[in-house]
Amino acid sequence: MSSTLKGRVAIVTGAGHGIGKAYARRLAEEGASVVIAEIDAEAAELVAKELNAEGFRALAVHTDVTIPQSTMEMARLAVETFGRIDILVNNAAIFISVPMSRAPFDEIDPGEWDRMMAVNVKGAWLSSCAVAPYMRKQAYGKIINISSGTALKGSDNRIHYVASKAAILGFTKTLANELGKAGVCVNCIAPGSTLSEENPDEAIIKRRTAASSARAIPRLQTPEDMLGAVVFFASADSDFITGQTLVVDGGSCMH
Ligand SMILES: NC(=O)c1ccc[n+]([C@@H]2O[C@H](COP(=O)([O-])OP(=O)(O)OC[C@H]3O[C@@H](n4cnc5c(N)ncnc54)[C@H](O)[C@@H]3O)[C@@H](O)[C@H]2O)c1
């Protein structure tokens, strides 16, 4: 266990599955207390139980990031349990665990479009609103938004998802401007296609592997590949860096 984030408190939304779960574990390994804020209550409890059994400090909070009262309660419970909030990772999304349909742009269901925006964009906004008062009060905080390489390159048959992830790029810059004076840094990570499925079948592995050929480092991307970036943006090492998007994709997208 390292002590880079000793004494810090982190909330990771959507930490019950996939990459968010890996973020929560790594932040805990770096010394932070972690809140597993997740719509799948059972998964959240399981992750928190595992971490606590290993001697880390974790709290599961059943959270729907689209509901203001739910995000406020997430922040309130984080402070009640651990005393403060230093880090928010806006990771929850409609993607795999809560699946999206992959269809041409003119066949996407309007209801699914709205839900996508509600979780992936409004959810990041509401979660940020919920933690901001605590971060302002302590004049310190780190908000890390999760976009996607798809926002920079475009991806067929998921225009609602891509549009939601592109929104996060502008959201990051605006929030960074508005919270800079309060001592809060806001940055963004844009992962490439990552093998984050819990039980991937051969078709999924094949699809994820296909993305590798476009990379300068031509291999499969796993959740572990993002952990250095999340710790960097969560730590004091990035205290003068804000409004930035770091692409973590093995050099597929170089802008
Ligand atoms: N896996 C990839 O290839 C990839 C690539 C680029 C970006 N991303 C992004 O990384 C993040 C994690 O993706 P993942 O691959 O682990 O997928 P995932 O679907 O497993 O993770 C998303 C998590 O958010 C939770 N969630 C969904 N709706 C919620 C809500 N309303 N409130 C709270 N939690 C909710 C899900 O239950 C799940 O745990 C997402 O933001 C995704 O867009 C993933």
Residue 122 CA to residue 65 CA, distance in Å, equals: 8
Residue 13 CA to residue 64 CA, distance in Å, equals: 9
Instruction: Please give the chain's pLDDT, 255 residues, in tens.
Output: 789 999 999 999 999 999 999 999 999 999 999 999 999 999 999 999 999 999 999 999 999 999 999 999 999 999 999 999 999 999 999 999 999 999 999 999 999 999 999 999 999 999 999 999 999 999 999 999 999 999 999 999 999 999 999 999 999 999 999 999 999 999 999 999 999 998 999 999 998 888 899 999 999 999 999 999 999 999 999 999 999 999 999 999 997
164 Cβ below 6 A of ligand 1: no
Residue 170 CA to residue 75 CA, distance in Å, equals: 24
User: Which tens digits make up the pLDDT trace of 120-130?
Assistant: 999 999 999 99
Domains of the chain: residue spans and CATH? 9-247 (3.40.50.720)
Q: Whose CA is nearest to atom 25 of ligand 1?
A: 14
Nearest by Cα to 57 from 65, 48, 66 = 48
Residues 6+ apart with CB under 8 A from 155: 161, 162
Q: Which of 69, 119, 196, 204 best tests ligand 1's pocket when mutated (most atoms within 8 Å of CB)? A: 196
